[in-house]
Structure 1
Amino acid sequence: MSVSHDGLWGIGELAEHAGVTVKTVRFYSDRGLLPEASRSAGGHRRYGPGALDRLRLIRSLRALDLPVSEVRRILDEEDRGGGADAGSALEDAVAGRLRALGSELGALRWREAALRLVRDCPPAERADRLLLVGAVPAPPSTDPLARFWRAWLPPRMPARSVAAFLEVAVPQPPGDPDPAQVLAFARLHALTTRPCPGAVRPQPEAHRRAGARGAAVLYTGLAEAYELAGVQLRRDREPRPGEALDGFVAAYASAYGTRDTPDFRRVLAGQLAADPRLDRYWELVAELVTPPGGRPEPTPGSAHDWLLAALAAQAAAAA
């Protein structure tokens, strides 16, 4: 490896030893990543022997697709000698790039499934499918679904309770969807962003009677009842009295500030049967969360229907 009499290399020599172009060396120098040791009398850049290792490190970092700003942070940390935080800049940069790649891969998988959906659908349905999937960003966002539920929940409901409900009610899109799941999510997106007929979206009677804080109690209890009902649904059990139904009724009784009595159960069964329904939402959620060819997973909607059927049968038997 030859150097000049003063131990420095010209830009062409450094580029040759590193296996890059002069333009590349100049690019990194101009951005402060590769400092010059000096300039010749003619104004040409001169680099010390340490520049070769630094240039190789820069190339390795850029080969990982790290942006120049992150490369600069890593080099600055090395120049400071590292210390207690040695390697932290590199770790942060790699972790950030991995997150970005995960998002990019998710978007590519979603677009692939969307393309297959459009390719394989009957020609008469192609225009509608294009409109549906074209309205959904890739990777898809659940923000419209969350906004839908925030507008549906009672106003001034505690933020913690709202967040807990959204965790259950808003499904996360699968990371590697099949075309049917893309279609289900696109339909959910359309359902939750389409203007609702009338000025006010229909609300359950419980929202009016329980109020904001009562609704928080209600939905906490319902989440537990739905989980218990989900166990029964997975076992293909017919709607029946039991712990799940008792918890379901207790959630409403607590929210209303009353006791669980046979008369209350009868009235509640009638009220819930008359409440506005969101069946289509939950049908689409089931399509979205069920693996291809797999058994349908219980949703809060299917659990609610199971519990309501058990309550209605019990009230009818008592009458």
Structure 2
Amino acid sequence: MSPDGTASNGTLSIGELATQARTTVKTVRFYSDQGLLPETSRSGGGHRRYGPEAPARLRTIRALRSLGVPVPEIGRVLDRGDTLEAVVARRLDDLGTELAALRWREAALRALQDGAPEQLAERLELIGAVSVPPSTSALAHYWRRLLPVRLSARLRATVTDAAVPQPSADPTPDQVFAFARIHALATAATDHCLVSHRPAPVTHPDLLYGGLHEAYRLVDAALRTDRAPGPGEALDCYVAAHARASGSRDSPAFRRSLTVRLTAEDHPVMSRYWQLAGELTPGLTLGGADSWLREALTASTAAG
């Protein structure tokens, strides 16, 4: 036996390896059984022997495990099938997801705690229906059902992205509850075919939604200068989009008829959706922009 604890052939017993790595025989055996610590040979009595590189390899394994890196990924790093940098990057992504889930669960528990005792069962059912971390797929599906079938894929994606509120990475209890309620609303409307508030069919949906998207962008610019709803470029763009889509032209008569039609198309489900979306969105929602434009249209027709 040499002074450093290795056998004369340069190998280490399982006990010697555990001592050098400052761990237990049980740990060495576990990683060996997982294929992370290959044996160099077996002694005459059938005991495992490890090469001189085993202590450094075992320290690497234990360091990566302390950071939560899964055993299969450690194996790929050790066998040079994957780089350490790639594994670290993936682990950071995974950790971000885990932390988001923990923050959501904490806020969800506080939302349950903050409610009155008689509301607990209802809140639990609402919040429990949302995945952790929360997914917006039910909301996106709702909008895909709601938008015109003939709308181009580009505008469908643009409208859906703008209409679906993203859950906060660090939500408050109120935001958790608001997201649970908007998730339940969208799921119920889709599952039970309650999309009776689908907009009336138009001949040219791309002309309508393309123009509305531009009008909403102009509303956002107007709000940045604290402009109140009224005549201007945003309203003209909004009315022009509706006029083009219906094969009409902008005129005082068209604006009056448009005001009546939009009022008749109001639906409580959509109003509730935008109310909840506003609680989840720090900036302007599409519903908020549309409300601003309707107020401007009403003011315009009243003044005319």
Matched, 1:48 2:51: yes
Structure 1: runs of 5 or more not aligned = 79-87, 291-296
* 1:109 and 2:103 correspond: yes
Residue 293 of structure 2 corresponds to residue 307 of structure 1: yes
- State how far apart, in whole Å, the 2-side matches of 1:168 and 1:108 are: 27
SS in 2 for 1:53: helix
The match for 1:10 is: 13
Compare 127-136 and 174-183 and name the one that shifted more.
Answer: 127-136
**Equivalent residue in structure 2 for 1:189, among 183, 188, 192:** 183
> Does the 8 Å contact 1:282/1:302 carry over to 2?
yes
CA distance in 2, matches of 1:221, 1:195: 27
1:35 to 35, 38, 41: 38
The aligned residue for residue 153 of structure 1 is: 147
Structure 2, unmatched stretches of 5+, are: none
Cross-structure match for 1:142: 136
Identify the residue that residue 225 of structure 1 maps to in structure 2: 215
Most deviating of 192-201 and 53-62: 192-201
Other-structure match for 2:202: 209
User: Do the aligned partners of 1:36 and 1:45 also contact (CA within 8 Å) in 2?
Assistant: yes
For the Cα contact (< 8 Å) 1:10–1:47, is it kept in 2? yes
How far residue 170 of structure 1 moved from its aligned partner, in angstroms, is 0.3
Aligned to 1:82: none
- Name the CA distance, whole Å, in 2 between partners of 1:161 and 1:42: 73
| Residue equivalent to 2:91 | 97
SS at match of 2:182: helix
Q: Deviations over 1:107-140 (max 9, x none)?
A: 1111111111111222232222222112112211
The residue number in structure 1 matching 2:76 is 73
Q: CA deviation at 1:91?
A: 1.9
Query: Is this contact kept in 1: 2:231–2:296, CA < 8 A?
Result: yes
What is the number of residues matched between the two proteins? 298
Worse overlay, 179-188 or 128-137 = 128-137
C-alpha distance in 2, partners of 1:201/1:193?
14
In the TM superposition, residue 238 of structure 1 has moved relative to its aligned partner by: 2.5
Q: 2:117 maps to which residue? A: 123
Instruction: Give the Cα–Cα distance (whole angstroms) in 1 for the partners of residues 80 and 142 of structure 2.
Output: 46
Instruction: Name the CA shift for 1:107/1:200 in 2 (closer, same or farther; >3 Å).
Output: closer
Deviates more, 1:168-177 or 1:113-122: 113-122
Select which of 269, 276, 281 maps to 2:273.
281
Between stretches 302-311 and 271-280, larger displacement belongs to 271-280
SS, match of residue 83 in structure 2? helix
Q: Percent identity?
A: 54
284, 290, 293: which one aligns with 1:298: 284
Q: Judge conservation of contact 1:132–1:187 (CA < 8 Å) in 2.
A: yes
Cα pair 1:204 1:276 within 8 Å, conserved? no
Amino acid at match of 1:66: V
Aligned 8 A contact 2:150 2:205 in 1 = no
Distance 1:304 1:195 in 2: 21
* SS of the residue 1:186 aligns to: helix
TM-score between the two structures when normalised by the length of structure 1: 0.87
Q: Give the superposed CA RMSD.
A: 2.0
In structure 2, do the counterparts of structure 1 residues 72 and 140 end up closer, same or farther at CA, with 3 Å as the change threshold? same
* C-alpha distance in structure 1 between counterparts of 2:181 and 2:224, whole Å: 26
SS at match of 1:46: strand
Alpha carbons 1:15, 1:21 under 8 Å: kept:
yes
